[in-house]
Amino acid sequence: MASLRLGDTAPDFQQDSSLGPIRFHEWLGDSWGILFSHPADFTPVCTTELGFTAKLADEFKKRNVKVIALSVDPVESHKRWIEDINETQKTVVNFPIIADADRKVSELYDLIHPNASTTATVRSLFVIDPQKKVRLTITYPASTGRNFNEILRVVDSLQLTEYHSVATPANWQDGDDVVIVPSLTDPEVLKAKFPKGWNAIKPYLRLTPQPNR
């Protein structure tokens, strides 16, 4: 199938996992979700990533985000790998790893890229909102570990901009000034939405303090 695009509905599926069978949309419920794939179990970079993800449990919970990983290896392999992850990364993996042995989910999410490998999944990550829409996709090469600080930053930006009429500028971090969207021009609406005021550097570039702070 064609690659998933931003705004597409994340495909639903039922598949076995390290924590038992999962029906994806039902499992997500009203939460935001992160689905990320790995080429295979017992791979070094992914071992560090899954361990780091487990350590971020409180950060994800604070943002109402559920995380779920995927590999094409079977459940028993996942369980042995989780033991290694817990031991080497000094943590406890507390989220499911999908056992996509029949590559059903990999096909739905276009995770098999023949130029990279005809059998292993690429290392893609999807952020999915509570309406089950894809809001972010990132595909990393096998040699480069994911930057989870960036993933949390993007989730913060998506959640902020979902509920306020703003966008986040380059290198934005939670607490920094944000940009008022250009489509918002009514002076009374602007005053109501941004009582702290704003700095109009250009008519289309108006900076304001983060509204939910």
Angle at 144 between CA 143 and CA 148, to 5 degrees: 150
91-138 per-position pLDDT tens digit: 999 999 999 988 899 889 988 765 555 555 668 899 999 999 999 999
Distance CA 109, CA 187 (A): 44
Query: How much is the pTM?
Result: 0.91
Contact 107, 3 (CB under 8 A): no
Number of H helices, E strands in the chain: 7, 11
33-43 confidence digits (pLDDT tens): 999 998 889 99
List alpha helices for 36-103, DSSP H: 44-55, 57-62, 75-89
On the question of pLDDT at 195 being above 90, the answer is yes
Residues 40 and 31: their CA atoms lie apart, in Å, by: 27
DSSP state of 188: H
By annotation, the residues acting in catalysis are 46
Superfamily of domain 14-145: Glutaredoxin (3.40.30.10)
Q: Return the pLDDT at 189.
A: 93
* Structure-block tokens of residue 8: 């597409």
Sketch the domain layout of the chain as residue ranges. 14-145, 164-208
Instruction: Output phi, psi for 33, to 5 deg.
Output: -140, 150
